[in-house]
Chain A
């Protein structure tokens, strides 16, 4: 009965060591291990510049927020970044409540996030 989350991975044209990850569904305590493993594997393989597309991410709770902060910290420690784009109003509100809007790199859309990649 765990929540459904799908991750799809795409290369980002013209960018080295970079991937676009589309999050689809709900991110919560029932599926963070799956997400953690997939994203950490990517970072450990040297893909340290990540753009997360949240267009179809409906829901995130405190556990999910915890791993988003973890991804951001880990990517930065390895000289990369974890950027979030297309976030919906409800998910943004939760990030705002915990005061994490300044800790996460949030962009309005994919073009803006891609342009900010070094």
Chain B
């Protein structure tokens, strides 16, 4: 750990004195719901020590929670399934990419339907649709890619509050 002469700075950012953007932090964890609270809180703290606001960190915590929940619920077919969350942090935004094992055909069909339904501006009543609706409202961009082997990758881009419009609740 780098030593610092500035005691105040040391108290606030003990392990992150100088931040050089962009940087990336990868988190890999078992496909189990019980790991998600620790992951989302880690991301929230990572953002706060990277000089993002607590509001931004809170909203990002929700995004991480929702995409991780989706990955566990619909993208983990075996007990040893792993999920990888890539947090790419820029000075003006964060980008999350989450990759899972890939779900069953039925799960993937439901995921595609939820994404398409939301994009069309209609209400999706499933829990999955509700989570994605929240992610969509809290972010600038939400992309879901399903490759030929059914591996699912969700990419979310969220900008700093100053650079985006205020949230508008859905009707």
**A interface residues with partner B (beta carbon < 8 Å):** 1-3, 26, 28-30, 59, 61-63, 65-66, 90, 93-94, 96-99, 101
Contact = CB atoms under 8 A, between A and B. Distances in A.
Nearest to B136: A97
Given A30-B37, A94-B134, A63 B169 contact: no
Contacts of A29: 33, 36, 69
Given A26-B37, A28-B37, A61-B66, A98 B58 contact: no
Contact of B34 (A30, A63, A96, A97): A30
B127 A30 contact: no
Interface string B39-74: 000000000000000010010011001100100000
B137 interface: yes
Contacts of B37: 1-3, 26, 28, 30
Interface in B122-149: 127, 130-131, 133-134, 137-138
B70 to A, nearest CB: 10
Interface residues on B, range: 20 to 34
Given A62-B130, A97-B138, A97-B169, 15 more contacts: A1-B34, A1-B37, A2-B37, A26-B37, A30-B33, A59-B61, A61-B66, A62-B131, A63-B69, A63-B131, A96-B167, A97-B137, A97-B167, A98-B134, A99-B170
A30 B36 contact: yes
Task: Provide the main secondary structure of the chain B interface.
Answer: helix
20 contacts: A1-B35, A2-B37, A3-B37, A28-B37, A29-B69, A30-B33, A30-B34, A30-B36, A30-B37, A61-B66, A61-B69, A61-B134, A62-B127, A62-B131, A90-B58, A94-B62, A94-B134, A96-B169, A97-B133, A98-B130
Contacts of A90: 55, 58
B171 interface: yes
A98 B133 contact: yes
Given A29-B36, A29-B69, A98-B170, A65 B130 contact: yes
Nearest to A58: B58
B62 A61 contact: yes
A61 B131 contact: yes
Contacts of B58: 59, 90
A1 B29 CA distance: 12
B1 interface: no
